[in-house]
Amino acid sequence: MNDALKLNQLNSFVAVVEAGSFTRGALRSGQSKALVSLHVKQLESELGVSLLHRNTRSLSLTEIGTRFYQDCLHVLQAAQLAIENARNHQQSLRGTLRISASAGYGSSVIVPALAQFAILQPALKIEYLGSEQYNDLVAEGLDLAIRIGSGLQDNNYRARKIDQFRLVVVAAPDLLQRYPTPRGPQDLLSFPWVGRPKSLEIPLVFDADGKERQTLLPTPHVRANQFFAIKAFAEAGVGLAALPPQLVQQALTAGRLCQLLPEYQLPRYEIFAVYPNTSHPPIKVRALIDFLLEYIAESAPSAGGSDAFKGFGEHLS
């Protein structure tokens, strides 16, 4: 980049594009319209290209202007991050951070992580919302939401993967004593099941090396809209259940539940930290996401090299 292309010129260009006019861009950037217009002209002159189509009523990006705008966002974000990191070095985060997660994953993973994060950042106020809904982050005033990997194509949001998991099929020992030992997925259909409401049902696809893929859609004898309730029914011996591994880990260790067909794998689900798509995400959001990644990586139990016991996610709680 030529010395003439300063960050304030890039900032003026981005402000004009995002505001839709030079007048509003000047107000947005806190500069005069004449200075903002000069910055854009200097950019175009230095680059030797037209970045904007102008007429008396509107302006729009040229093809090269569109690409340059995206590049400017990355440059400005990197510069802002460097400035914030320098300013916040060895300083505590401040303000309020509002985060949403489902009851299951939130209670098992996010809340314990937030507790440690709160101790490390005593000047930061934290508001946690347990919710089964896909909240509108902006309307709800949320900084961050933890969601399973679906419905994340909204351009209003950004998403960063923080975890993954596979469901496991479990049953109480008393129930297993009343039925023949299952040898394959199809044998599971002879058992009663505990499952989700019909609107939330998903087929169970079983995969194993050297074996044919099999898909089951059991008809539950008992249904519940939360995995905590399904787990309770399963522990009582009501039926089989396909549950997130972290939810049943203690019950498996204590012998209250047994995992069936561990040689088979169910599909992988990914969990994301979702936040509003702004040019400069707050440092408190970036700091929490980095902390969650480290916390989850350190606390994920080993499962013989499998990723089965690496968390479970939103809308599966």
Q: What is the pLDDT of residues 161-213, one digit of tens each?
A: 999 889 999 999 999 999 999 999 999 999 999 998 887 788 999 998 878 88
Half-sphere exposure of 2 (CA within 13 A, CB side): 10
Question: Tokens for 191?
Answer: 């058992």
Contact between 200 and 188 (Cβ < 8 Å)? no
What residues are paired with 125 via a beta bridge?
A: 96
Nearest Cα to 105, choosing from 149, 159, 146? 146
At 44-53, the pLDDT tens digits run 999 999 999 9
Cα–Cα distances in Å, from 255 out to 170, 172, 178, 234, 248?
A: 11, 8, 17, 13, 10
| Neighbour tally for 28: CB within 10 Å | 18
- 149 confidence band (pLDDT: 50, 70, 90): low
Our measurement of the distance from residue 168's CA atom to the centroid of its chain's CA atoms, rounded to an integer in Å, reads 22
- Residue that is written with structure tokens 């249904």 in the block: 223
| Neighbour tally for 80: CB within 10 Å | 16
- Residue that is written with structure tokens 């994060």 in the block: 117
At 272-300, the pLDDT tens digits run 999 988 777 888 999 999 999 999 998 86
Question: Is the alpha carbon torsion for 183, 185, 187, 188 positive or negative?
Answer: positive
Question: Tokens for 41?
Answer: 């002209």
Our measurement of the distance from residue 157's CA atom to the centroid of its chain's CA atoms, rounded to an integer in Å, reads 10
- 151 confidence band (pLDDT: 50, 70, 90): very low
Our measurement of the distance from residue 257's CA atom to the centroid of its chain's CA atoms, rounded to an integer in Å, reads 30
Q: What is the mean pLDDT of the chain?
A: 85
